Amino acid sequence: MRLAYVINSLEAGGAQYPIPRIVAGLRAHGIETTVYALSQRDDLAVPALDAAGVPTVRAPFAKAQHLAGYRWLAAELARQQPDAIWTSLTQATLLGQRVGKRNRIPVISWQHNAFLKPANRRLLRLQRRMSQFWVADSESVAGFTQNELGVAESEIEILPLYVARSDAPQAKPHAGGPFEWLSVGRLHPNKNYAALIEAFAWVAERDDVRLRIAGQGSEHERLNALIAQLDLSDRVQLLGHVEDIPALLATAHGYIQPSLNEGLCIAAHEAMAAGLPCLVSKTGQMALTVTPGHAVNAQDPVCLRRTLHHVMGDVPKFCATGASNRARVLERFSQARFDAAIAAIAARLRDVTQSA
């Protein structure tokens, strides 16, 4: 069986991260996968796909050239004639569903986020039946897909975006000196890093803290200017793209994810696997996985800075939650659970292709 895995782009991001594992899992069930990217961006996910032997085909377009992307994908899949299409991210799903209908290829669609722009939510809801079934990256996203897109619970399979490593490098407890916070994510407004930096300006006046943010994106210049404006150059550092995130996490004392919206959020779960105490937004799966009481309303800047200051008031108590974070992640996001989910999806793929 041959599968076309269609995604918006192969930039660095949570949606691209699990592709090698998914392809390997499907191959174990006799399904060969080729990845089709609808646009070219930073392509930082490509080296990992190449290293894993994942075939990729990339359209020569910039972001949001929807009509060109649709025509390109329709022509590519008409030539290749895959048995099924798996779409990932909203643009890929909206276009992939229509290409599947045009080329008479069954489609399954992956919903990654517990948030959609209103227009995208309306479009996906209208086209939801153009996918034979849906895949959600977590329980929180499955609930969103059911409630907001109107997809029946029986038409949703849950495939964890993330598999926790039991051998992940472990962070060392804080033993005095500056408390090193870390965050990982694209420098994009949704990650809410401007609000986090402004909160640090207030907290740094009261507590001995440092913040490093790993990632790159469109907000780099704006955030750098904000750091300079708030005189935080010795407290806040933008690291740019970092390849080995688990190794970086092991150098921190605490992890913070202030995103406005998330699905699973791999980076936050990797931080928990590293044994780090975490503060995360009340959004997506990370808010359900983290130690109770450590999911905050990051949309409220006052709440964010007060919570930061509060946990700094009892660092040993905060750090003690790292062990429970790790235990919870290892149990909920095991390789065995991922393998079982892939097997269920592979079986269902065979069913829909045979009945097409």
Same domain, 103 and 20: yes
pLDDT digits (tens, 9 = 90+) for 21-73: 999 999 999 999 999 999 988 888 899 999 999 999 999 887 768 899 999 99
The pLDDT value recorded for residue 62 is 78
Same domain, 293 and 213: yes
Secondary structure (3-state) at 238: strand
Instruction: Mean pLDDT check: name the lowest of 14-18, 77-81, 100-104.
Output: 14-18
Same domain, 25 and 157: yes
2-7 vs 209-214, strand pairing mode: unpaired
Same domain, 251 and 308: yes
Same domain, 138 and 230: no
- Does residue 219 carry a pLDDT above 90? yes
Which whole-number Å values give the CA distances from 30 to 1, 146, 350, in the listed order? 7, 30, 10
Instruction: Mean pLDDT check: name the lowest of 1-5, 148-152, 159-163, 218-222.
Output: 159-163
Q: Which of 196, 233, 195, 187 is nearest to 214 (CA)?
A: 187
Question: pTM to 2 decimals?
Answer: 0.81
pLDDT band at 263 (very low <50, low <70, confident <90, very high): confident
pLDDT band at 347 (very low <50, low <70, confident <90, very high): very high
Q: What's the rounded mean pLDDT across residues 185-204?
A: 93
Give the structural domain span for 90. 2-163+334-355
Contact 308, 279 (CB under 8 A): yes
pLDDT digits (tens, 9 = 90+) for 146-178: 999 999 999 999 998 889 999 999 999 898 899
The pLDDT value recorded for residue 161 is 80
- Does residue 12 carry a pLDDT above 80? no
Q: Determine the Cα angle at 171 with ends 167 and 177, to 5°.
A: 170
Same domain, 94 and 236: no
- Does residue 337 carry a pLDDT above 90? yes
Q: Is position 217 within any domain?
A: yes
Q: Which of 110, 109, 112 is nearest to 140 (CA)?
A: 112
Mean pLDDT of the chain: 93
Q: Is position 265 within any domain?
A: yes
Q: Is position 237 within any domain?
A: yes
* Paired strand residues for 237: 212
Same domain, 130 and 200: no
The pLDDT value recorded for residue 282 is 93
Which whole-number Å values give the CA distances from 225 to 197, 238, 328, in the listed order? 11, 11, 38
Same domain, 7 and 134: yes
What residues contact residue 312 under an 8 Å CB cut-off, 6+ apart? Answer: 179, 203, 206, 207, 209, 318
Secondary structure (3-state) at 279: strand
Q: Which of 249, 247, 253, 251 is nearest to 318 (CA)?
A: 253
What residues contact residue 278 under an 8 Å CB cut-off, 6+ apart? Answer: 254, 255, 256, 257, 268, 271, 272, 286, 290, 291, 294, 321, 325
Same domain, 338 and 237: no
CATH code, domain carrying 93: 3.40.50.2000
Q: Is position 207 within any domain?
A: yes
Q: Is position 80 within any domain?
A: yes
* Paired strand residues for 111: 136
Q: In what order do the strands lie in the sheet with 278-281?
A: 236-240, 209-214, 179-184, 254-257, 278-281, 295-296
The pLDDT value recorded for residue 298 is 86
Q: Is position 172 within any domain?
A: no
Q: Which of 109, 95, 123 is nearest to 156 (CA)?
A: 109
The pLDDT value recorded for residue 341 is 96
The two structure tokens encoding residue 184: 């990982």
Same domain, 96 and 189: no
The pLDDT value recorded for residue 136 is 95
Q: Is position 37 within any domain?
A: yes
Count of the separate structural domains present in the chain:
2
Same domain, 191 and 72: no
- Does residue 113 carry a pLDDT above 90? no
Q: Is position 170 within any domain?
A: no
Same domain, 133 and 275: no
